[in-house]
Structure formats: C-alpha cells, structure tokens
Chains A and B, each alone.
Chain A
Amino acid sequence: MPSTTVIILDAYPPPPPELLDALQAMDASLVTRTLRELREAPPELLPVADVLLAPAESDGAAVRMAVRRLRRWAGAPIVVVWTVTEFAALEEHVRIGHDYLVPPFLPALVGARLHSCSERAGLGRTLREADARAELMGYEKELEIGREIQAGFLPESMPVPDGWEIDVRFRPARQVAGDFYDVFEISRGRRLAVVVADVCDKGVGAALFMALIRSLLRHTAQNSGLQHLVAAGRAGGSRRIPVVGATPLLNAVTATNSYLTRNHLRQGYFATLFFGVLDPLTGSLVYINGGHNPPLLLPADGSPPVALDVTGPAVGVLPDCVYTLGYAQLDPGDTLFVFTDGVPEARCPDGRFLGDDRMLELLAGPPSNGKVLVDLMDLAVREHTGTAEQHDDVTMLALHRPRAARGPHVDGAGTRVVA
C-alpha cells in the first residue's frame, strides 16, 4: 500500500521526467487535478492527499485557496513546489509557507522530503479530526443542557385531587421531545386541567415550540376566566348548562392558536392536543380535542371504549378557527386514557405498526387502575418496538377514578411524580 498520496497539479510546465521517476520509485499514489477542479469540484470528489505538487510558476494565492478548500472537505495536503530554473518564483511560495523541491531530483532525496511532508499532513488530519470530535462533544453537551431545560417545562409535581389517580409515562425518542403533558389546577383550585400534546416533527425545533405552546396554554388557562368562572357550554348549542372551567379552556386553546398563527405560521409548527378540564367532585369533564388522536374513555363495566373525538383542528395551523367543547363523564371505576401517536405508531424492526386494533385489544376489559393500564401499554409498546429504533416520542396519561375513593393519597397527594 502506497505510503504517500500526491496530487500532481495539472498545470504548465509538467513535472520533469526525473521527478516523476523519483515519485514512482517511492511507490507514491498519484492523482492529477487542475487547479480549477480543486476549487470547484463537489466536495465528495476531492482527493485526500499528503502532498500537492505544483510548479513554481503556479499562482501561490490560488494554490492556497485550493488547499483551504481541501482542508475543509478532505484534509490539507502539504504544498511542495518544484522548479528547475525559476528560483525567483519559488521564493514567493516559500514565503507563504510552501515547501519546495529543486534538482537534482534523486529518488532518495525526493522520497525523504515527501515522506516528511506526508507525516506532517497526517498530523494535520489528526488534529482536524480531534477538532471535529471536540466540536461534536460541544454540541452534545448543548443538547444535554437543552434536555435538562426542557424537563423544566414538564410539571415538577402533579396536583392529584382526592379520589383520583393520575399516571403518566413519558419517553422521548431523542434527547429533546415534541410531546408534552401538563396537569395543573385552574378556576381557583376548583378544576383540574389535564393536557397531552404532540408538537409536529422532532428534534430541537419541536422542543422549542413545545416550550412555547406549553407556556401559552398554562399561562392563559391559569390567568383567564377569573372574573367569569362560568361559561355557557357551546357544544352544538343544545347544552346550556354552565360549565366552570370552560372559559379558561376555550381561552387557552384559542389564544394559543391565534398567537401561533399570528407569529409563527411561516415556520409551519403546530401541535395536536387534548386539553381536558375535570371537576374532581362530580367527574364531569369538558374538553377540547385539537386534532389529536382521540383519547379513550374506558368504562368501569368493561363496555367498549368511548373515543373523545376531535372538536377542532390542530393548534397553530388555521387562523380564526372555531374550537367547540366536548363533554364526558368519568364515573367511579372509569379511566380516561390519553396518548400520543407514538403509541399506536410504535414500529417493530420489520416496520409494522402496533396499530389501533391491537391497542383496543390491550384496552379491552376495565383496568384495575391507571398505573396498571400505563404499565401494560408501555410494555406493549416496548415489546412491539423490540430492537427497532424508537422513532417517535411516547406519552401516555391515565386519569382514573377509583371505585372506592381512598381518601387523601398517602403516597403523596398533589406531589406524585411519574417519570
């Protein structure tokens, strides 16, 4: 295997035969390129070489530009200029740091010089790789910081009302996630807000919008409707029962939608979300489903799940759209299972999805509690994914109303955190 790779600059004058003989004698690997090719060829076609051999007559600045480009994409060769008679031209090159060869081009002399250039070029490449690694580690560290900061946009603790259980599973596919969930009190503690959302796409972009959307929803919900705790139900016009918590709910979703469509439409990020407001005393739930996978209400008697269908489009897509309210009732023993598409769209190594049918199979029969349900579904997702890469964030939230209210939770009412 040749120890030294030499780019022979295809320029006038060509290297004298003695120089070429010396290169052959040292078994160098030779490639020929014009200056123009080095400066304009696609990066993937640039040769990786130890030495760029150029006649002293070539333009020093132009050669340097070509080497800069090689350094960026392939690794910088050491420039060696040769001449037989043009010693003045040689000076210009030496001044800008190029090496040189002059007659006699004896194989031993040429070989020794080029071997030493080859070692220098190799060292340069090693340094470049070390720099690249250091840069990559820097990015990874930044991403880790991003992950930690994003964790601060998830609830540190969840207020769990007496007589209720909330269990969450949150497994991002990458370091930063587009999914999120939130649980907080509104309407002066009389209602519980439960949010599960999925910001489209993945990675850092989705994570930035997650932070924005979560903040807008929570802030608006917590700071609106204080004057009007009661809003008229708007579903279909037939319901006229005033619903506490409906105003903050509507305000949060419509304000977030108009903020996003007013300020960020061009970026094309949006979220599908389920935002439910629970009355912990009665189990009545008013909700908005903004383009999200319908959550499933699992009745205590084991009858088929009831899907809480969409009541409006995804948030951040359409300016001035209307969100209607949906209503549901959670009786003792019932469970509401809210999830993101990472659950039904979990993929096994050969690409098959977990699928809605399998999900319904798993959910058949009432779960004894929310934790059992979340564990069961999470295990199913993990088993289905197997050795395949987890390609989407997985988020599940189970809101369960136990048959016999067990009074205040001894396992930390209001502070239970499920990682």
Chain B
Amino acid sequence: MPLSVSLSIEGDTTVIELTGELDAKTAPDFHRTIEKAAGHGTHTVEIRMAGVGYMASAGLRSLVFAQQKVANDVTIKVVGAIEPVSRTIRTAGLDRSIVLSDE
C-alpha cells in the first residue's frame, strides 16, 4: 500500500502528514520530506500518523533519521498514531526522544 506524504507549515510547526503504510518501500519518500522539513527551521516538527495503518522497522529508522536531521532544540512529535504503531515506537524506546501524543 502506498504512502502519501504532505508537508505544510503552521506557525512555528512544520507538519508532515502521513497516510498509508510506512515500510522499506515507502520510507524513502518520508526521508525526502524530512530533509525538506529540517530545512524549514521551525521549533517543532509534527508528524501526523493517524492515517498510518502499519509501520515496519524501516519506518522506525525514518524517525531516528528525522532526529538526526533536525537541530538539537527541535522537538519531534508523533501525533495520533494508532495503538500498534505507537507500540512499535514505544517498544523500540524511541518515545524517549520523540514526543508521542494523541492529538
């Protein structure tokens, strides 16, 4: 299943909205968007994942990659992830550096 990625800026937040599945095939699209988002220089990068039904380990890697791309003082938020996706993030321990929130 393909992934659709959209990028916008809302005030001091760069918003990336993902819909579909985040796996090895689709992660490169997300990587490119992260690189663009990192260039925006906002204080928060919000990744809206409510429409992501499945995230493979390649998707986790994208989140780690995102952390590397943005400046140290930038907060990365993952918003609205469904339970299996947020569990994947929590199991790997990425919730220690990425803010997980329901909305």
Contacts and interface: CB of A to CB of B under 8 A. Distances in A.
A202 B57 CA distance: 9
Given A201-B24, A203-B24, A317-B64, A292 B56 contact: no
Given A201-B27, A291-B91, A318 B96 contact: yes
Interface string B8-50: 0000000000000001100100000000000000000000000
Interface in A142-194: 178
B28 to A, nearest CB: 10
Contact of A272 (B1, B92, B96): B92
B64 A268 contact: yes
B61 A313 contact: no
Interface in A202-251: 202-203
B52 interface: no
A6 interface: no
A198 interface: yes
Contact of A200 (B54, B61, B68, B97): B61
B23 A391 contact: yes
Contact of B1 (A200, A291, A351): A351
Contacts of B1: 351
Contacts of A391: 23-24, 56
A318 B54 CA distance: 24
A314 B57 CA distance: 11
Q: Report which residue of B23, B58, B62, B68 has the largest number of chain A beta carbons within 10 angstroms of its beta carbon.
A: B58
A351 B62 CA distance: 22
A269 interface: yes
B93 A291 contact: yes
Contacts of B62: 268
Interface string A280-307: 0000000000111100000000000000
Contact of B97 (A268, A290, A310, A318): A318
B94 interface: yes
B68 A266 contact: yes
Nearest to A290: B93
Contacts of A310: 91, 93
B94 A314 contact: yes
A99 interface: no
A317 B93 contact: yes
Contacts of A202: 24, 58
Nearest to B66: A268
Contacts of B93: 290-291, 310, 312-314, 317-318, 321
Interface string A35-53: 0000000000000000000
A312 B23 CA distance: 24
Q: Report which residue of B1, B68, B93 has the largest number of chain A beta carbons within 10 angstroms of its beta carbon.
A: B93
A275 interface: no
B15 to A, nearest CB: 22
A377 to B, nearest CB: 20
Nearest to B1: A351
A334 interface: no
Nearest to B95: A313
Contacts of A291: 91-93
A313 B93 CA distance: 4
Contacts of B58: 200-202
Contact of A201 (B54, B61, B97): B61
B60 interface: yes
Contacts of A321: 93, 96
Contacts of B61: 200-201, 268-270
Interface of A: 178, 198-203, 265-266, 268-270, 272, 290-293, 310, 312-314, 317-318, 321, 341, 345, 351, 353, 391-392
20 contacts: A178-B57, A200-B61, A200-B64, A202-B24, A202-B58, A203-B24, A265-B68, A268-B61, A268-B62, A268-B64, A268-B68, A272-B57, A272-B92, A313-B92, A314-B60, A314-B92, A318-B96, A318-B97, A391-B24, A391-B56
Given A270-B60, A314-B94, A317-B92, 17 more contacts: A178-B57, A202-B58, A265-B68, A266-B68, A268-B62, A268-B65, A270-B92, A310-B93, A313-B92, A313-B94, A313-B96, A314-B93, A317-B94, A318-B93, A321-B93, A341-B56, A392-B56
Interface of B: 1, 23-24, 27, 54, 56-58, 60-62, 64-65, 68, 91-94, 96-97
